[in-house]
């Protein structure tokens, strides 16, 4: 599609049909990234005070928290004051959603979402129009760091076998074509499909490629093995899991461009991304406040700490001091690029193994998280996938009391349908699935070779 038409006609039309307009925030974000840290912090504080006042007046859970702690909204004036409030955990959300965590007076369109992860009982949440607009505007700013604008050709390696039917419906395919987006299913990848993927991307000639870090690494390893240096975008944006240095090097070598790693979550979406200098992850501080908590107290430098995020734009379902279950390394350093946005030095705790079937099919964390989230009515609380042999995967689950044999048969049948006939699926039921000795809760644990190509 002609870039001018994609940028000026079809991309804005797509936003309008979704009921959002992130373009109204983009000019301000393009300017504020160059503000001083003090100016950005003042904007944060203004937005935080508005959010706190609204949550106190309209959200029962927060009104009760303030009452219990003998606080009033004026006690929370900046990010330093957030320690006066409790951490928001997934358990608290499950116990209070929706009645006590949803605004009683929010007016306007909103979306309902659900988290992914090690539990088959994902947290549910609402995201208002403003939240989506700010998130999309931040994403557009990040694209600009890679030398890409709305309407430029972009390949997205994403999705899930369970999501592909919806993603490939005719209206979405038409708008992808009209807005210069090529979507490739990133977690239904098979060794026999990789050449086709590489050739499709080369033919499309995108300005930027973005997607699951594992999927892009897999394509890069295949290209290196086959001697295929035929793709050269402006940049590659990776996300969803920790990007190891050796994997970054492979992607950069084969795609002949820089990798820009991005960090977000299902609940919060846009949180931080690298710029062209790669000194760390620039936090989208106009949109979120990120705290690093170690031994119960905030830290600003040092080793890994728990990441706690406040979304400054979600008024329908405020996420204030939400613990995202990832670890990050904070830093007080500023980036040489000149942006005033604060930095996170590194992200840890997101590395996941992948199940590889004997025929060469890859089943990633994203697949299993979506699979269990879509098990409507089947009472599974927690799960972990373990592969000790190449021809078998063990599905370890914590089930509720009303779980039945027919539920087990349904799970095995559906998993076999997606995994294929060449791998045995064994189910085990336990009372608890503890974290690893390092404190992590991996969804997938593979004890077989991870040499994919």
Pair 135, 270: CB distance under 8 Å: yes
Pair 268, 288: CB distance under 8 Å: yes
Cα 423 from Cα 402, distance rounded (Å): 28
pLDDT in tens, 2-20: 889 998 999 899 999 888 9
Burial class (CB in 10 A: 0-12, 13-18, 19+), 146: buried
> Is the residue at 434 inside a domain?
yes
Pair 71, 84: CB distance under 8 Å: yes
Pair 181, 201: CB distance under 8 Å: no
Regarding whether 344 and 256 lie in a shared domain, the answer is yes
pLDDT in tens, 171-215: 788 888 899 999 988 766 777 889 999 999 999 999 999 998 888
Confidence of residue 295 (pLDDT cuts 50, 70, 90): confident
Regarding whether 409 and 338 lie in a shared domain, the answer is no
User: Is the model's pLDDT at 114 over the cut of 80?
Assistant: no
> Is the residue at 84 inside a domain?
yes
Task: Please tell me the predicted confidence (pLDDT) of residue 164.
Answer: 56
Task: Please tell me the predicted confidence (pLDDT) of residue 117.
Answer: 55
The phi and psi torsions of 354 (rounded to 5 degrees) equal -130, 140
Q: Compute the average pLDDT of residues 242-258.
A: 92
> Is the residue at 171 inside a domain?
yes
Domain ranges, residue 403: 355-446
Handedness of CA 369, 114, 322, 282 (dihedral sign): positive
Pair 197, 366: CB distance under 8 Å: no
Q: Compute the average pLDDT of residues 392-404.
A: 92
> Is the residue at 453 inside a domain?
no
> Is the residue at 89 inside a domain?
yes
CATH number of the domain encompassing residue 418: 3.30.300.30
Only one residue has tokens 């989506």, namely 132
Confidence of residue 451 (pLDDT cuts 50, 70, 90): low
User: Is the model's pLDDT at 161 over the cut of 60?
Assistant: no
Regarding whether 347 and 379 lie in a shared domain, the answer is no
Regarding whether 342 and 362 lie in a shared domain, the answer is no
Q: What is the 3-state secondary structure (H, E, C) of 324-376?
A: EEEEEEECCCCCCCCCCCCEEEEEECCCCCCEECCCCEEECHHHHHHHHHCCC
User: Is the model's pLDDT at 438 over the cut of 90?
Assistant: no
H/E element, 20:
none
Confidence of residue 1 (pLDDT cuts 50, 70, 90): confident
Provide the domain count of the chain: 2
Cα 320 from Cα 85, distance rounded (Å): 8
Task: Please tell me the predicted confidence (pLDDT) of residue 160.
Answer: 57
> Is the residue at 162 inside a domain?
yes
Which residue, 301, 320, 351, sits at the end of a domain?
Answer: 351
Which of 115-129, 166-180, 349-363, 416-430 has the highest average model confidence (pLDDT)?
Answer: 416-430
* Angle (nearest 5°) at CA 346 between 156 and 446: 65
**pLDDT mean across residues, the chain:** 89
**Structural tokens at position 389:** 């042999």
Question: Percentages helix, strand, coil for the chain, rounded to the nearest 5?
Answer: 35, 25, 40
pLDDT in tens, 330-352: 999 999 999 999 999 998 766 66
User: Is the model's pLDDT at 23 over the cut of 70?
Assistant: yes
Q: How much is the pTM?
A: 0.85
Q: Compute the average pLDDT of residues 285-293.
A: 97
Among the ranges given (22-26, 278-282, 363-367), the one the predictor scored with the smallest mean pLDDT = 363-367
Regarding whether 259 and 160 lie in a shared domain, the answer is yes
Regarding whether 373 and 341 lie in a shared domain, the answer is no
Which residue, 351, 382, 402, sits at the end of a domain?
Answer: 351
Q: Which residue has the higher pLDDT, 242 or 46?
A: 46
Pair 125, 106: CB distance under 8 Å: no
Regarding whether 425 and 300 lie in a shared domain, the answer is no
Regarding whether 266 and 120 lie in a shared domain, the answer is yes
Regarding whether 97 and 23 lie in a shared domain, the answer is yes
Regarding whether 398 and 319 lie in a shared domain, the answer is no
Task: Please tell me the predicted confidence (pLDDT) of residue 9.
Answer: 92
CATH number of the domain encompassing residue 17: 3.40.50.12780
Which residue, 317, 334, 351, sits at the end of a domain?
Answer: 351
Coil/strand/helix, residue 247: helix
- Ranges of H-type helices in 210-269: 213-226, 245-255
Regarding whether 222 and 120 lie in a shared domain, the answer is yes
Regarding whether 87 and 12 lie in a shared domain, the answer is yes
Q: Compute the average pLDDT of residues 388-413.
A: 92
Cα 119 from Cα 28, distance rounded (Å): 38
> Is the residue at 178 inside a domain?
yes
Cα 452 from Cα 204, distance rounded (Å): 25
> Is the residue at 451 inside a domain?
no
């Amino acid at each position: 599609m002609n870039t001018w038409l994609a940028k000026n006609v079809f991309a804005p039309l797509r936003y309008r049909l979704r009921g959002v307009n992130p373009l109204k925030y983009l000019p301000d974000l393009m300017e504020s990234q160059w503000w001083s840290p003090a100016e950005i912090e003042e904007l944060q504080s203004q937005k935080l005070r508005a959010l706190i006042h609204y949550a106190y007046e309209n959200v029962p859970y927060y009104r009760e928290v303030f009452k219990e702690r003998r606080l009033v909204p004026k006690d929370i004036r900046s990010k330093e004051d957030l320690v006066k409030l409790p951490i928001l955990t997934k358990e608290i959300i499950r116990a209070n959603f929706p009645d006590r965590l949803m605004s009683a007076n929010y007016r306007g369109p909103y979306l309902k979402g659900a988290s992914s992860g090690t539990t088959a009982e994902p947290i549910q949440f609402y995201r208002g129009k403003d939240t989506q607009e700010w998130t999309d505007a931040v994403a557009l700013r990040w694209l600009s760091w890679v030398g890409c604008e709305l309407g430029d050709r972009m390949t997205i390696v994403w999705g899930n076998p369970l999501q592909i039917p919806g993603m490939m419906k005719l209206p979405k395919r038409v708008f992808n074509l009209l807005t210069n987006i090529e979507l490739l299913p990133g977690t239904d990848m098979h060794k026999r499909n990789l050449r086709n993927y590489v050739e499709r991307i080369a033919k499309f000639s995108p300005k930027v490629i973005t997607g699951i870090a594992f999927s892009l690494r897999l394509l890069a390893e295949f290209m290196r093995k086959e001697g295929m240096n035929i793709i050269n975008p402006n940049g590659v944006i990776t996300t969803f899991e920790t990007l190891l240095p050796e994997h970054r090097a492979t992607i950069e070598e084969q795609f002949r461009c820089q990798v820009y790693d991005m960090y977000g979550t299902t609940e919060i979406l846009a949180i931080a991304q690298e710029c062209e200098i790669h000194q760390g992850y620039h936090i989208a501080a106009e949109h979120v406040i990120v705290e690093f908590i170690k031994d119960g107290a905030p830290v600003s430098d040092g080793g890994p700490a728990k990441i706690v995020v406040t979304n400054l734009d979600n008024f329908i379902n405020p996420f204030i001091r939400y613990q995202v279950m990832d670890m990050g390394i904070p830093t007080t350093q500023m980036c040489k690029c000149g942006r005033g946005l604060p930095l996170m030095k590194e992200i840890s705790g997101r590395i996941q193994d992948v199940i590889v079937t004997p025929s060469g099919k890859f089943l990633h964390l994203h697949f299993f998280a979506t699979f269990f989230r879509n098990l409507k009515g089947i009472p599974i609380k927690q799960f972990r996938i373990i592969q000790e042999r190449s021809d078998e995967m063990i599905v370890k689950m914590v089930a509720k009391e009303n779980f039945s044999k027919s539920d087990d048969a349904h799970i095995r049948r559906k998993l076999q349908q997606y995994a294929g006939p060449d791998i045995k699926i064994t189910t085990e039921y336990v009372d608890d699935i503890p974290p690893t000795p390092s404190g992590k809760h991996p969804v997938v644990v593979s004890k077989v070779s991870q040499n994919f190509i």
